[in-house]
Structures are given as C-alpha cells and as structure tokens.
Chain A
C-alpha cells in the first residue's frame, strides 16, 4: 500500500516535471533566438523581431490559459482527478507568459514612448482588453498559494471564476488586432467557446432535477 502511494507520488513528480519542461520549452526556444538575434543580428525572428517576440509570448499565454480551462472538462471526461494537480501550474505559466508579453510591449515595442501606453490603453480597444486581461490575472496569481486558498475559503472559487472573463478578453485582444485574416483568432475563439459552452451545459444539467428512481 505504502509502496503504491510512493509509486503514484513518483509518477506525479515525473509528470509535473514533464509539464514544467513543456511549459518552459517555448520560452527557452524564444530566448535562444533572442540571444542569437542579439549576438549575431539574425535569430530567425524576421525583419521585425519585436513584433515576432510579442506575438509568440502572447500566443503561448493564450494557449496555456486555454489549457488551464481544459482541465476541468478533461477531468470529467476521463475521470482522472489527478489532472487537477496540474491546473495551478498551467495557470501560473499562462500568467508568466502574459507578463513577458506585456514586458516586451512596454520595453521593446514602445521604446520610451511611455506616454503612448496610457493613450493606447485608453483609446485602443484591443490594448484595453489585453491590459484588462493581464490585470485580472494578477489577483489570481497572487491567490494561488495554499495559504491563500485556505484563507479565502469559498470566496477563492468565486474569485477564480474571473478566469472565464480573462479568457474572453484574451481572445478578443487577439481578434481585434488582426487586419483581415481571422482564421487563427477564430480557432482560439472556437476552442474557448467549447470550453465555456461545456461548463454552461454542465451547470444547466445539474440544475435540472433528475427524476428519482422508484
């Protein structure tokens, strides 16, 4: 029995290590290309590496956010409650990529035109929603510790329902910056619609009282 538990724990550690590596891989690959760009002038990031860096960090933030939202439906589907052990780390990685994305915009893209930040946030809807999404992620990241979960009690779950709004804002942020070819944002919107739609359906089904067995 003890052995079995220890084996499962080892399996979990291995799985978590693997997920950590998978989550870090895009950042490592991008970091390597940035280093090449910096040192040799060509890291394969194209003529406008700043835009490429922003886009890549943003897209990974969105992907990880959707992965976080996929955990609960996947758990119901597979019955594997162990999946929940990965939700926090995926969410925190989404936050990390979103923070790097924002940093790239502020440091590499705006390049000292700081005043434009406020104008952009106020006047550019896609930046407004992007900024809102990041700001809403902050309290979720801050309350992701065990202590915070205990301290907040039932309010923790309520607070973390914000992630649905954040995901919608993140998809809008992508959608609104595209000029005409909406295929890629549409794909993410469709995935989000499935993930949120499943939750709505699930909630509705649970509300409808089932006929009792005679």
Chain B
C-alpha cells in the first residue's frame, strides 16, 4: 500500500476550506494564551475535543521531514527506557534480555472486539511504511528518526471502539525477568501512557514496528511502540502489551509521578517550561559529525506539527492543559 493509498480520506471528512484557511489564526491564538490561566482551578477531565479535520496535503507534509537524520547508532544507544535502567546507555546493554517474539497484545475496554491478539494478527493486512519524525524529549534534546510502522488508527479501528471510548490507554510490559530496571521503583510499574481518542486516531499517530527499515531494536521499544511526534517523547510508549479503550482520562506514568511537571497532554510547547528547566530550545542530536558542537535550536510549537495537529486543541488553554 502506498502512502497515497493510505491517505484516502472520504470527502465528507475533508476540512471545510474556511476552517482550513483559519488554521494559522488558531495556531497563533494557541501560542499567545496568557499566564493568568495558571490561577484557574484544576479540573479532573479536559474538555472534549473540537470536531475538525485537516487537509490531506497538510497532513502528508508531516509524514516525513528532510532534516538530517540521527544515526542508527545514536538512536539505539541513547534511550530512556527505565525498565532497563535509568542511564541512557542501560537499555542498549540490556537489549538481549527482552524477548520481542512471540508477542501478543491485550485489547480491552469499550470496543466491539476485545481480546488478546498475537502481534501478527494485530498488524495483519497493514503494510508498514516509513515516517521520518522529529522526536523531542522532555529533557531538552531531540532526534530525527526514520520509523517503520502503521497508522495507529488503522489498528485501533480493527477492534471497533464504541462511542464510550473517549481515551486510549497503553501499557508497557513489566517483567522483572526480562527487564532488570523493574527491580527499582523509579516509576510505578507498569509504565502507562494514554491519548485522547482523537489524538490516537490522528493520521500522525504511528504504531512503530521498525527503525531504519529494520526490525525495531529492543531498546527502542520492540516489538511495538508508539510515535506521537507532536508530544514529548515519553508519550511514545514502548513495548506495548495492552491497549484499553476507556471513558475517563487514564492514569499515565509521568503525570502520576509528578503532575506539576508532566501533563496528560504533554504537547511539545516552547512557551510552557518544565518547572525545572526551559523548553524554549533543544539540542539536536543528528548527523554523522561530531556531536561535541551539536546545534541548539529553537523548539517549535507541537514540535513543528502544528499545521497537522493544532486544530485538535482549538479553544484549549495549553498553559493549563500542558
């Protein structure tokens, strides 16, 4: 299946031109929301998303960036995967302990066809394609990564989510025998992440099965992980063993650990700093040259995917719902 085929969107779903032309104003408005929102009361649930669609051409432009790529070596030796230890090199050293095959995923919650399915069944009928996405870590560094995978929506739709499915919750494997880092409770295991249903169904949300045209290495979340490029890296959960369609916002690991520092949405946003460090700029780890003088570049709203995703957050105060 070519990219073009994958993008056949019913005409009814294409954004009305007026709305589409308005997107820049929406993006501008989002970036300028005032600080006073911080004094607002904390609501448990974010407001429901607006119903909007983005033009296919605009969407497609987000599928691949021409920026210099991060080397395979760097992508596979500099990882945050606390199940294997909290050092950046720990996951690559422990990669031999994680058995990525056979693998199955339990799908549950508000859907027509719940159950445990082997990975092969989960991906049956879908052809992996390449997406070159920017990955911005909440710690202030970024990479450009050629993932191999399928749109998350294509997989989720197989299970027939019902109207009660307002969010999708994901769970990482937590097996002490395979993951030495589990011995230390740096996180309340298992690692959990979640997306609002419209985010999960967004064409940019990607279910990754490979890297640089090869099978996904263990340290990068084999055999199945998310790539949600407009959000901080920790939202892109690794080694997924469970997917649940839920009605209420699910608990997510980092948000659970420190809600003032890691929001549920965690959209990349240079205007909302991490309470302890700035998010205005990032160090780009890319290319084959010496990284001793790696570029520090400005961080972009939604990690540069505003054109594709900003409309999902129209009217949402992004300082409050960070």
Residues of A within 8 A of B (CB): 34, 37-38, 41, 46-51, 108-113, 116, 119-120, 123-127, 176-177, 179-181, 183
Contacts and interface: CB of A to CB of B under 8 A. Distances in A.
Contact of A34 (B74, B139, B276, B292): B292
A125 B260 CA distance: 15
Contacts of B132: none
Top-10 shortest CB links A-B: A47-B78, A47-B74, A181-B86, A111-B296, A181-B186, A41-B290, A180-B186, A37-B292, A47-B285, A49-B291
B65 interface: no
14 contacts: A41-B290, A47-B75, A47-B78, A48-B78, A48-B285, A50-B292, A51-B141, A51-B283, A108-B293, A109-B283, A119-B278, A120-B278, A177-B276, A180-B82
A48 B141 contact: yes
B319 to A, nearest CB: 15
B277 A37 contact: no
Contacts of A179: 139
Contact of B88 (A48, A111, A120, A123): A48
Given A47-B70, A47-B291, A180-B258, 7 more contacts: A37-B292, A46-B78, A47-B73, A116-B281, A127-B277, A176-B276, A181-B184
Given A48-B283, A180-B86, A181-B186, A124 B295 contact: no
A38 B187 contact: no
Contacts of A47: 70, 73-75, 77-78, 88, 285, 291
Contacts of B320: none
Nearest to B76: A47
A26 to B, nearest CB: 18
Nearest to A180: B186
B273 interface: yes
A37 B294 CA distance: 12
B299 to A, nearest CB: 11
B143 to A, nearest CB: 8
A120 B141 CA distance: 16
Interface of B: 70, 73-75, 77-78, 82, 86, 88-89, 139, 141, 184, 186-187, 257-258, 273, 276-278, 280-281, 283, 285, 288-296
Contact of A113 (B75, B139, B277, B281): B281
Contacts of A48: 78, 88, 141, 283, 285, 291, 294
Nearest to A178: B86
Contacts of A110: 296
B285 A125 contact: no
Contacts of B291: 37, 41, 47-50
Nearest to B281: A113
A50 B295 CA distance: 11
Contacts of B292: 34, 37-38, 49-50, 108
Contacts of A34: 292
B210 to A, nearest CB: 20
A109 B290 contact: no
Contact of B278 (A38, A111, A116, A181): A116
Contacts of A108: 292-293
Contacts of A46: 77-78, 88-89
Nearest to B139: A179
Given A180-B86, A180-B257, A181-B86, A50 B294 contact: yes
A111 B140 CA distance: 14
B268 to A, nearest CB: 17
A126 B276 contact: yes
A109 B290 CA distance: 14
B38 to A, nearest CB: 14
Contacts of B86: 180-181
Nearest to A110: B296
B77 A38 contact: no
Contact of A183 (B88, B89, B184, B258): B184
A38 B290 contact: yes
Nearest to B186: A181
Nearest to B80: A179
Given A47-B74, A48-B294, A111-B296, A41 B141 contact: no
A113 B290 CA distance: 20
Given A37-B290, A48-B291, A116-B278, A109 B285 contact: no
Contacts of B78: 46-48
B290 A50 contact: no
B186 A111 contact: no
Contact of B296 (A113, A125, A177): A113
B263 to A, nearest CB: 15
A50 B74 contact: no
A177 B290 CA distance: 26
Given A112-B296, A181-B186, A124 B276 contact: yes
